[in-house]
Each structure stands twice: as structure tokens, then as C-alpha cells.
Structure 1
Amino acid sequence: MEIGGIHHVKLPVSDVARSRTWYERVLGFEQAIEFVEDGEVRGVALRHAGCAPQLALRHDPARAAALSGFDALALLVPSRDAVQAWKTALDQAGEPHGGVVTGHHGGSVLVGLHDPDGIEIRLYAE
């Protein structure tokens, strides 16, 4: 039996609109699909050029609070220089993060970037 990759990753959020705006503004994602239930936006699917899996955000405040502080998502960037470029761009945008550290296999990892619910997003290069 085969698995061909990851289709999407879903994160819980307390406020879909606020989180969508953050992922678009800070990380450059764009909305692909909006999920409306009972007349209310309850989730979105986001995509990013060059990134095969999509990122889904789903309204679920309790689970979002439970994940606060946890590094649930590591986004692969093409090089260590790209990690440094992200650090510079985040610094210029005034977006707080924990800096760049060396990963377990010697790569570069930008840590301490938190979405509006406090879920840590890492940017990683081998």
C-alpha cells in the first residue's frame, strides 16, 4: 500500500479570520477554500507556492488553547540562507520569534514564531 505524501495539516484556531490574516501576512499563505457552516466561516484551507501540502485552519478554541506553546508545525525552507532571510524579514516586520538555532542534523531552525493562538511555527532547513 502506498502513501504519496501529505495532503494537508489542520490546526485548531480560536478565531479563523484573525489566524487566516496572520498566516497570509506573516508567512505568505493564500486562501484556497473557505468552509462555511450554518452561515459562519468555520475553517479555511491555505496554500503556499512551492508547498505541496495545504494548511487548514479550523475553529476549535479549546484545542487551540491546548496547543499553545507547542511546536505543532515545521515548515521546510530550501536552504540555511533562506532561514536567515526569514529571520531578517520577520525582524523587519516586527514579528517576534526566538531566533535561529542549529537543528538535530546540523540544519538551521527559526524557533519561537507563534501564531495568534500561541502555536509555535518553525522554519527549518537541512
Structure 2
Amino acid sequence: MTTLNHVAVTVRDVDASTPWYRALFGSDPVLDEHTDAGFRHVVWAFDNGTLFGIHQHDRPLEGEDFTEFRVGLDHVSFGCENRAELQAWETRLDELGISHGGIVDAHYGSGLSFRDPDNITLEFFAPPG
């Protein structure tokens, strides 16, 4: 199987979401452009080569705020090496004033869930041990 190359989520206001994600990731995006395909995208690159992008389409959005209870995306999870890295992210979220559910431990690993400005569920996840 190949690795995950990128994830892109649609946001209501890319100008409002860009600084939020910039603060979360602690880095500037590697790309910010309006495409001929009718959307603007802002993209971050992670050390492992995975890309994460936010998109704002030219056409009006349909529907209400994001919910994981509709068909489609449930959440996006960012991998952590271990629980110590997960705890560092918990501290970082607290510093940024981003509310979260705290670290939840399970037999398959530990997760830290939170939401972006459009209510999209995001998570940091560490394997067990």
C-alpha cells in the first residue's frame, strides 16, 4: 500500500482559517493560490511528505456546519510518535486557547480530539505503549 499523500478540507473562509492552522502547525503554508478549477487552496507540508490543505470554493457552500454524522469525512488524525508527543500537543492546544477533549486512552492507542473554526474534527493520535 502507498502512504497517504494529502488531505484537503473545505472551509467557509480561508482567510479566517489560514491563521488558525498556521498557529496550530507553527509554520507557514507552502502554497497559497487560487486555481483555474475554481477554488483557493492553502497547503502545509509535513516532514514525512504528507500535505494538508484547506480549500475555499468559488461557488456557495451547501448545507450547514460540518458534522461527522453525515456521509463523508469523520475526522482527520495527525500521527504522533508516542504519548509524550501527544502530551506536548495537548499543552500546545492549551497555549493556543483551542478547546479539546483531553487525551483519551484506549487499547489501540491514545487520541486528543479538537475542532477547527468550521467545526471539522481533528485529532492527534499516538500508538499504544
* TM-score computed with the length of structure 1 as normaliser: 0.79
Gaps of 5+ in 2: none
1:108 has 2:107 as partner:
no
How far 1:46 moved relative to its partner?
Answer: 1.4
Structure 1 29/63 Cα, relative in aligned 2: closer, same or farther at 3 Å? farther
* CA positional deviation for 1:83: 0.6
Aligned to 1:74: 77
Separation in structure 2 between the aligned mates of residue 7 and residue 109 of structure 1, nearest angstrom: 22
Q: Deviations over 1:77-99 (max 9, x none)?
A: 11111111111221133221111
Give 1:120's aligned residue: 121
2:11 matched residue in structure 1 = 13
Relative to structure 1, the CA distance from residue 27 to residue 104 in structure 2 (aligned partners, 3 Å threshold; closer, same or farther) is farther
Note if contact 2:67-2:119 (Cα within 8 Å) is conserved in structure 1: yes
Percent identical residues: 30
Give 1:69 deviation, angstroms.
Answer: 5.1
Give RMSD over aligned pairs: 2.5
Q: Which one has a larger percent helix, Structure 1 or Structure 2?
A: 1
TM-score, with structure 2 as normaliser: 0.78
Contact 1:74 1:122 in 2 (8 A): yes
Task: Indicate whether 1:54 and 2:51 are aligned.
Answer: yes
Query: Deviation at 1:68?
Result: 3.7
How many pairs are equivalent?
Answer: 120
Structure 1: which 4+ aligned runs deviate by more than 4 Å? Answer: 63-66
- Is 1:93 the equivalent of 2:96? yes
> Would you say the 8 A contact 2:65–2:118 is kept in 1?
no
* Secondary structure of the corresponding residue to residue 88 of structure 2: helix
